[in-house]
């Protein structure tokens, strides 16, 4: 899974350069969905036009990941800037264009078995 996280880190870097910074770009494995990962993001450009942002991200993912890796992704969630869970993540860890691992935690009211934080930073930092 670390290899998938590294590939997504490269995608996050490319998308940041092309569209603007992310406040959050993270991969979450929910305890209730074994082997299905959620890509959780937050950025100004993604919130402005969610449909276009999702198309851009999916296109980048499909062009980078293998079919086997792609099917491990369950969904892409775009968080609002004022989401309480986003603020909690920022308080827990600051990382930019890296791969920080978290295990057995609770975020967004969900039990998270494993997570990779690629970017987690406040918009004005």
Q: pLDDT tens digits, residue range 17-46? A: 999 999 999 998 877 777 889 999 999 999
Rounded Cα distance between 39 and 27, Å, is 5
Q: Tell me the whole-structure pTM to 2 decimals.
A: 0.87
Residue 86 contacts residue 120 (beta carbons within 8 Å): no
Burial class, 66, CB count within 10 angstroms (exposed 0-12 / middle 13-18 / buried 19+): exposed
pLDDT tops 60 at residue 125: no
Residue 28 contacts residue 107 (beta carbons within 8 Å): yes
What mean pLDDT, rounded, does the chain reach? Answer: 87
**Residue 65: strand, helix, or coil:** coil
Rounded Cα distance between 102 and 115, Å, is 5
Residue 33 contacts residue 94 (beta carbons within 8 Å): no
- Which is higher by pLDDT, 28 or 51? 51
Neighbour tally for 30: CB within 10 Å: 18
């Amino acid at each position: 899974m670390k290899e998938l996280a590294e590939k997504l880190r490269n995608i996050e870097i490319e998308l940041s350069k092309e569209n603007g910074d992310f406040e959050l770009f993270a991969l979450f494995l929910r305890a209730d969905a074994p082997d299905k990962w959620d890509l959780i993001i937050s950025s100004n450009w993604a919130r402005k036009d969610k449909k276009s942002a999702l198309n851009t991200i999916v296109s980048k993912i499909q062009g980078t990941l293998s079919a086997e890796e792609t099917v491990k992704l369950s969904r892409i969630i775009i968080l609002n800037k004022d989401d309480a869970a986003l603020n909690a993540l920022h308080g827990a860890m600051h990382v930019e264009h890296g791969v920080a691992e978290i295990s057995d935690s609770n975020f967004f009211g969900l039990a998270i078995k494993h997570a990779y934080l690629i970017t987690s930073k406040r918009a004005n930092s």
